[in-house]
Amino acid sequence: MTVFDQVQGLLDKPDIPFKSIIAGISIGKFVFETYLTYRQYKVLSKKTLPKVLENEIDDETFLKSEEYSRAKAKFSVVVDVYELVQKLVFIKIDAFPRLWKFGVQLANFILPAKFHAVSTVAQSLCFLSVLSNLSTILDIPTSYYQHFVLEEKFGFNKLTVKLWITDMVKSVALSHALGGPILYGFLKIFEKFETNFLWYICLFTFAVQVLAMVLVPMYIMPLFNKFTPLEDGELKTSIENLAKSVGFPLDQIFVIDGSKRSSHSNAYFTGLPFTSKRIVLFDTLVNESSVQEITAVLAHEIGHWQKNHILNMILFSQVHVFVIFSLFIGVYRNLSLYNDFGFFIGAPGSVLSSSSKVFTPEWPIIVGFMLFSDLLTPMECFMQFVMSLVSRLHEFQADAYARGLGFSKQLCQALINLQIKNLSTMNVDPLYSSYHYSHPTLPERLTNLGYVSEKKKR
């Protein structure tokens, strides 16, 4: 008997209450994250700035920043409650088998009979399409409030209702156009290789990740933003000189119209680890920062390239994928899990006690993976701490790289200006930030860079 069979035997006991377990895990995650938000909210009641910022942030900006952060904290709890209620209702009313039935009916309607009659993959894709569209509809109220109430109140929202709807329609269309083929490949691997799918899935996810890094910046993002080559001038010359001095394989520099959606600022580069790179600047950053500050920000971004952070994160994510699908072997064909959620594997025709239950002749693997993801929630919460820690270490290293190039002062000033313009949180609870923040807080970064305020000197 293999390890796979032993694990299956342990988990296939009919008395395992998988519904109750997943509901309990979901509630536990909500309680934990709400506790973190409560800790953060208490910190936001502080009336004093961190010492390193005392001479940099005026009282009006500080108070507005704290108000903005409190508003986001409250809203995050509301969103979490809304999502938890959705999940518990889905579990209670057997929504998955009901949606699966609808997906099968949709497959029967839109696909040729010779295809849909035998294809669980086709039924799975229709099921996911229905579930995705339903999720989009359910997210409309919170999305609208976030953009047109919360962000609007603090002067960040630049979206119109028309653009918001257009973005939503584009996102749904892209999720079907791109997600469909990807999910098809994912499910066909399970169909073809059954229990020895692990390495094939890892190779497939790696290929998808690499393709996304190449195709998304070039073909997907331009559907939402206009990319304009940076005009010749002092800024372009400064960036090109920096790239040349450190051997950064710069291809093009673009400015995107981020201001049509938000007044927040950002900058990043795209490209695979061993290929040429495209630098992308938000127009808000270009319009509101000095040449030296923008160059310093890009020195930090180049630090990520120099330290191989992108390659490290790709490898880290592949290890993560390997662990997840290694564990998935234990529930890949777990009758107890499927049965408890209303799926019965076998020939149709038997009498069921509830109209919400469904028979399926083959394993609905996509449903199993979704339920398995819920079971993995505690591990994923732990992984979020780990990923945040790794990401923050990378940020410190990139800061140190920029400092080594002589941009310490300019980078500090750029970070302070971005903090002010984005009304970013000034006081942060350490446990909250270690879970939610992929970047160190501004006081941590300034302290690490050895920043001393010029105003303080005077």
Pair 134, 59: CB distance under 8 Å: no
Whole-number Å distance between alpha carbons of 309 and 303:
9
Look at residue 75 and tell me whether its pLDDT is greater than 50.
yes
Decide if 194 is catalytic: no
Give me the residues paired with residue 186 across strands: none
Kindly report, residue by residue over 312-325, the tens digit of the pLDDT: 999 999 999 999 99
Mean pLDDT of the chain: 87
Residue of 26, 37, 31, 30 whose CA lies nearest to 431: 37
pLDDT given for residue 165 in this prediction? 94
pLDDT given for residue 458 in this prediction? 44
Question: How many CA atoms lie less than 13 Å away from 392 in the CB half-sphere?
Answer: 20
Decide if 399 is catalytic: yes
Binned at pLDDT 50, 70 and 90, residue 457 comes out as very low
Query: 320 a known binding residue?
Result: no
Look at residue 362 and tell me whether its pLDDT is greater than 90.
no
Query: 304 a known binding residue?
Result: yes
Between strands 250-256 and 227-229, the pairing is: antiparallel
Q: What is the mean pLDDT of residues 333-348?
A: 80
Tell me the percentage of the chain whose pLDDT exceeds 90. Answer: 53
Look at residue 84 and tell me whether its pLDDT is greater than 50.
yes
pLDDT given for residue 346 in this prediction? 64
Whole-number Å distance between alpha carbons of 429 and 407:
29
Whole-number Å distance between alpha carbons of 119 and 361:
10
Look at residue 431 and tell me whether its pLDDT is greater than 60.
yes
Instruction: State the catalytic residue, choosing from 301, 340, 429, 444.
Output: 301
Instruction: State the catalytic residue, choosing from 56, 293, 340, 399.
Output: 399
pLDDT given for residue 196 in this prediction? 84
Range of the domain at 158: 3-457
Q: What is the mean pLDDT of residues 43-55?
A: 87
Supply the pTM of this predicted model.
Answer: 0.87
Whole-number Å distance between alpha carbons of 317 and 311:
10
Per the structure, the count of domains in the chain is 1
Query: 300 a known binding residue?
Result: yes
Whole-number Å distance between alpha carbons of 453 and 357:
66
